[in-house]
Amino acid sequence: MPTILYNTNSSLISKYRRSNASKPYKGLPSKKTHTRLSLPPDVFKEVSDYTRNSNDDISFQSEFKKDSVGYLQDLCCSVYPSSLHQKIKNLRGSPDLQINAFIALIFKNFIKSWYGVKIPTNDSKFLTELYTLVQNIVKYMKNSGIDYSSLLLDYIPCLVSSHLKVLGDCSQDTDLVYEQYCQLTLYDSKRYPGLFIDIIQSKMDTKSLLQRSFLDSLLNELVFGHILDSIMEPYYLLNGLNKVCVDIKLRSATNLKESGTGEKSKCGAWWFVSSIKRKISQVGKLISHSTSIKSPNMDSTGIPEIPFLQRYIFTFILVDFFKLPMRKPFLFSMCRTFQYWISKSKYLNRIMYKMFANTTQARISNPTILGGLFLSLRHSLFPNDTTMGPPKLIPTGDAFLEFRGDCISNIWDVCIAYKIDKILAIKKSDIEELIFSLSKDRDCNKLLLYRVIDCVAAQLP
């Protein structure tokens, strides 16, 4: 590839630019001027041209049904040069096709808008090399063995525990939260995302300055910059919790209504005993189904030596999160006794590890689920599979405080409905403290995600 770096501020651009070149690409707003949270839609549209109202865009046209194999292949072929069309036609498995369709739209919006327009050329080698790079990364991640038991049962719970503790100790001054957070966690804010970019650059092993400069800008400014900034907004996390609690409340109200109208005659000792037997039978069927499926790397030699109930996630739940030693010491002692005796049984540990592998681990590594994730991400960012849609407006000021109050009320209602407040001695002030911590600072949540990615990268060969 050529080793010439393109300088958008050069005074020689007008000399070599084609006369029919399109309107210059303004690019993404810088971090200092990125005021999306406090700007109305019309102002944001004037700040940046990289998004458009999805209602004004023409949807991508294909003879195949949307999100089908043929549709995704046509979508990729519309972006990549003809020399790659046969390779794209050979992509049929999940999640390869879903990943490539999402990456193709990113290339269409953020590369083809200047490569061939601001840089007049018909050379397709650049996109070809980028396609090859994406395939190499996908293949590398597929073949990389990740220890999900250590990652999900030890590392991530430990990081989340540290995250919540530090946020609780940080000052209420929003201008000082991130600085104090970095000091208390002993993490340098400049460590990320440069660490991940260096890892990806080292896997490329390329001498092209243009390619390295492009990837550095793409990852640093777009992926680890604007996209992660949007994803890690506290509003999205609270909105997800709020939706889950609302669904639980509706389901609980529906079940209560049905039990009150259709089961009034079902009372007495015999009905109580039969209800208990039915629930035990359901639990038995669940355990049988979870342990009967053949799990990868879960034979007699693949079971970790650490007892399942001794993993850190249970300490996080009992001690760090619910604080049972202070609130319910007797219940905590019973849980510890239960952990001790169950951990002595190799048979029970093998069953619990198989259940974990067949439920949590199988879902994470399932290609269909991973493909559905990229499918949903593409629908969210590119509604019509053409240009990137407008950013979602996030409530600020009094509107956000009202939304946060509704979220706290819904979580508290769920605790009351399932008697969690009495069983675990939880107060509404505890929920308020947790929600305040989660919504304290976006950059702190982003640093937590960086630390989780760091744990995953440490397990890669």
Q: 340-363 pLDDT, tens per residue? A: 999 998 888 888 888 888 888 777
pLDDT of residue 20: 41
Q: What is the pTM of this model?
A: 0.73
What pLDDT is recorded for position 17? 46
Half-sphere exposure of 53 toward its Cβ, with a 13 Å CA cutoff? 7
Q: Which long-range contacts (CB under 8 A, 24 or more apart) does 356-364 make?
A: 356/149, 356/153, 356/308, 357/148, 357/149, 357/295, 357/296, 357/297, 357/298, 358/290, 358/291, 358/293, 358/295, 359/290, 360/148, 360/152, 361/148, 361/149, 361/152, 361/295, 362/293, 362/295, 364/148
For the chain, report the end-to-end CA distance as a whole number of angstroms: 28
Domain ranges (residues) in the chain: 13-145+194-204, 149-193+232-255+272-458
Write the CB contacts of 152 (distance below 8 Å, at least 6 apart in sequence): 313, 360, 361
Cβ(177)–Cβ(441) under 8 Å? yes
Measured over the CA atoms of residue 265, residue 267, residue 270 and residue 273, the dihedral's sign is positive
Question: Does pLDDT of 278 surpass 90?
Answer: no
Q: What is the largest CA-CA distance in the chain?
A: 91
pLDDT at residue 134 tops 50:
yes
Mean pLDDT on 281-285? 66
Task: Give the model's confidence band at 310: pLDDT under 50 very low, under 70 low, under 90 confident, else very high.
Answer: very high
What is the Cα–Cα distance from 20 to 16, expressed in whole angstroms?
12
Do 452 and 157 form a contact (C-beta atoms < 8 A)? no
**Banded pLDDT at 160 (limits 50, 70, 90):** very high
Structure tokens at 435: 């929600």
Which DSSP string corresponds to 244-308? HHHHHHHHHHHHHHHHHHH-TT--SHHHHHHHHHHHHHHHHHHHHHHHHSPPTT-STTTS-SS-G
Q: Which of 239, 241, 240, 234 is nearest to 37 (CA)?
A: 234
Digit-coded pLDDT (tens) for 207-241: 777 777 777 887 888 788 877 887 888 888 899 89
